[in-house]
Homo-oligomer: A and B are copies of this chain.
Amino acid sequence: MMTVPQACAYLKEQENILILCHQSPDGDTLGSGFGLYYALLAMGKQAQVVCSDPIPPQFSYLLPEAMPQIDPQCVVAVDVADPQLLGDALSCWADRVDLCIDHHPSNRRYAARTLLRPDAAATAEMMIEIIRGLAVDPDQRIANCIYTGLCTDTGCFQYSNVTSHTLRTAADMVDLGAQAYRINRKMFGTKSKARIAMEREVLDSLVYAMEGRIAVIAVTGEMLERTGAIESELDGLSSIPREIEGVKVGITLREKPGGFKISVRTVEKINAAAICALFGGGGHARAAGCFIGEPLEQCRKKIIGAAKAACEEAGL
């Protein structure tokens, strides 16, 4: 395990640095990756950011105008907790990562050197310290990168991972010229027409059980066909049922080949993992998953039955 000054000392010695982001890239892996990239370039080094998936268009403002390929002497993974998350296209680097910079408590320590801070809300919160440790003056581009990581990994400073340090780091980025409002609008204030259509479908599918203590939504293949929604447009739908007032168990059924993938979110006192274990699944106490290989109606009935039993057992 490394400290920030150690990671900085190591990076100062490197010349051609390849920066790996995780697959299905989000604002934190991209913001941290490109933040580091611009800092290394400002130091006169060569660098390149790679990702096994295309970069979603809403993040295009993070990208440089051009990024020539390099012949890497050093490989840095950012926000990548597990080498499997590099994805197929980057799997060749899985056991050749020289430095991993990450904030996930589940980090697999797969790299030769690891800088891990599980109390950071985002890898970007660590990355700005590294950039300063490299004696680079963060410009607006870097500030936008770091701000993007901070706001996306915290649901715009809404989640439980936000600390006063996270908020102060965001304030610093705003002072450095980060276009916070423009970025917030891009990340949180815009929905595609397909996403809006999916929200409608999902709300149409909503059913309550046990006098509103259980809420179930479904995402079927038919809905996806009707709306044209793609995977990334389904983000966050499964949190809808749990956000409804009075709901103790929120359930999302997602059609997959041969049945339904089930996601269960619960309030305190009800163990989501125990509910899912009844169907061979598992997870955390408040969020867990399983698969039931049956048609929608049967799946719904079975998982509602298990959720009811759990509510009754908990006296809720």
**Taking beta carbons and an 8 Å cutoff, which residues of A are in contact with B?**
155-160, 162-165, 167-168, 170-172, 174-175, 180-181, 184, 188-193, 196, 199-200, 203-204, 206, 208, 212, 240, 243-246
CB distance from A302 to the nearest CB of B (A): 24
Cα-based distance from A188 to B188 in the complex (angstroms)? 13
Instruction: Tell me the bound Cα distance from A226 to B243 in angstroms.
Output: 21
By a CB distance below 8 angstroms, the chain B residues around A165 are: 171
Provide the residues of chain B in CB contact with A240, threshold 8 Å.
Answer: 196
Q: A192-B245, A196-B203, A200-B206 are in contact. Are A164 and B157 (CB under 8 A)?
A: no
- Contact A189–B158 (Cβ < 8 Å): yes
Complex CA distance for A180 and B162, rounded to whole angstroms: 8
Q: List 5 A-B contacts (CB under 8 A).
A: A158-B189, A168-B168, A168-B171, A200-B204, A203-B203
Q: Which residues of B contact A157 (CB under 8 A)?
A: 156-157, 167, 170, 184
Give Cα A160–Cα B185 distance, bound, in whole angstroms. Answer: 9
Contact: B158 with A193, CB < 8 Å?
Answer: no
In the complex, A5→B159 CA distance in Å? 35
B contact residues around A244 at 8 Å (CB): 190-193, 196
Give the CA-CA distance A188 to B184 in the complex, in Å.
16
Nearest chain B CB to A163's CB is how many angstroms away?
A: 7
Which of the residues B167, B171, B191 comes within 8 Å of A245, measured between beta carbons? B191
Give Cα distance in the complex from A172 to B165, angstroms: 10
Whether the pair B156, A190 counts as a contact (CB closer than 8 A) is no
Who on chain B is nearest to A157 by CB? B157
Residue in B closest to A247 when the chains form the complex, CB atoms: B193
**Bound complex: CA of A16 vs CA of B196, how far in Å?**
52
B163 and A174 within 8 A (CB): yes
In the complex, what residue of chain B is closest to A159 when comparing beta carbons?
A: B181
In the complex, what distance in Å separates the CA atom of A180 from the CA atom of B175?
A: 23
Whole-angstrom distance between the Cβ of A271 and the nearest chain B Cβ: 20
- A156-B157, A158-B156, A164-B172 known; A206-B212 Cβ under 8 A: no
> Does A191 contact B243, Cβ atoms closer than 8 Å?
yes
Bound Cα distance from A188 to B168, whole angstroms: 22
Q: Are A160 and B181 in contact (CB under 8 A)?
A: yes
- Given A156-B157, A245-B193, A203 and B212 contact (CB-CB distance below 8 Å): no
Nearest B residue to A174, CB-CB: B164
Bound CA span A170–B180, Å: 16
Tell me if B158 and A167 are in contact (CB < 8 A).
Answer: no
Inter-chain pairs besides A190-B243, A190-B245, 16 sampled, C-beta below 8 Å? A157-B157, A157-B184, A158-B188, A160-B181, A162-B174, A162-B181, A163-B174, A164-B171, A164-B172, A164-B175, A190-B244, A193-B208, A193-B246, A196-B240, A199-B199, A199-B203
